[in-house]
Amino acid sequence: MSQSHQALGARDNWWGESTVDDLRDKEVSELTTDECERLIEADTTWNVPTDAMSEREIREFVRGMRDESQSVQPCTSAYEIARWKAHQILRQVTTKHSKTAKRAPPDRGDAPLWAWLFRDEEETELIVDHDPTAMHHERCEVELTDPELHLGKLYEDGDFGLFEYGQYRYRKRYDDEHGYIGGVAFDDMEPEKFFEVVGIVLDNAKEEKSFRSERIDEWFDVAKRLKSKQDQSDQDVLTEILRRVYLSAE
């Protein structure tokens, strides 16, 4: 008599646990820490050091993997963990602008051609700082919408038009001026607001890792010094502070 069996590697069949597909359908708040780690292992192609992360950070990492506009970056060092963490913090407290419109080369029309023909030394950067496929004609700041755009997982041309198969669970933000989907760029905050954020981060670190007050004050002074130089972004500064926190916690 034949019987239908699940694949041997299916978690709920072999280990008595939910499958990874089932875990993907759960809210992060419903997952155990072990289940979060299983999702990270299944959905990333790099070695994420979850043993160096707190339970809250592991859950935030999973939320980041599901986020509408930010794929979690490879976290294989204290710096990379700090970089990702700084990004997640700033997403909550700053205005979200289109990264493409703000930083990517614009479509400059015929200007690069004329610069090339006449070898105008003052405009030679136009030759390389130009993308004819771009939708923006100069770098600008455009605030992204709230998450509202559903995207299909697979598109296929058919006899009766374009077919969409499935949808991603989380909605995307987009630049309604140029049509760019996702991609977040942060504005640097005023010093007072930025130091308030740094203070909260360091207070949490002190509470969770029992750092001495002198060490917290030292890191806060580093943040002030880096911010005052104005040659690094807020994300760069916050990343450096978090990197020191993670290294000291090891």
pLDDT digits (tens, 9 = 90+) for 89-118: 998 898 888 988 988 888 888 776 666 666
- Write the DSSP assignment of 110-161 as a string of letters: THHHHHHHHT-GGGTHHHHS--TT-S-SS----BPPPS-B--EEEEEEETTE
Query: Percent of the chain beyond pLDDT 90?
Result: 22
Residue 83: band (very low, low, confident or very high) from pLDDT cuts 50, 70, 90: confident
Give the pLDDT mean for 162-180.
75
Cα angle 77-83-86, degrees, rounded to a multiple of 5: 140
Q: Which of 44-58, 67-81, 176-190 has the lowest mean pLDDT?
A: 67-81
Give the pLDDT mean for 179-185.
84
What CA–CA distances, in Å, run from 239 to 94, 97, 223?
Answer: 16, 20, 10
Residue 60: band (very low, low, confident or very high) from pLDDT cuts 50, 70, 90: confident
- pTM above threshold 0.75: no
pLDDT at 232 over 70: yes
Give the pLDDT mean for 67-77.
50
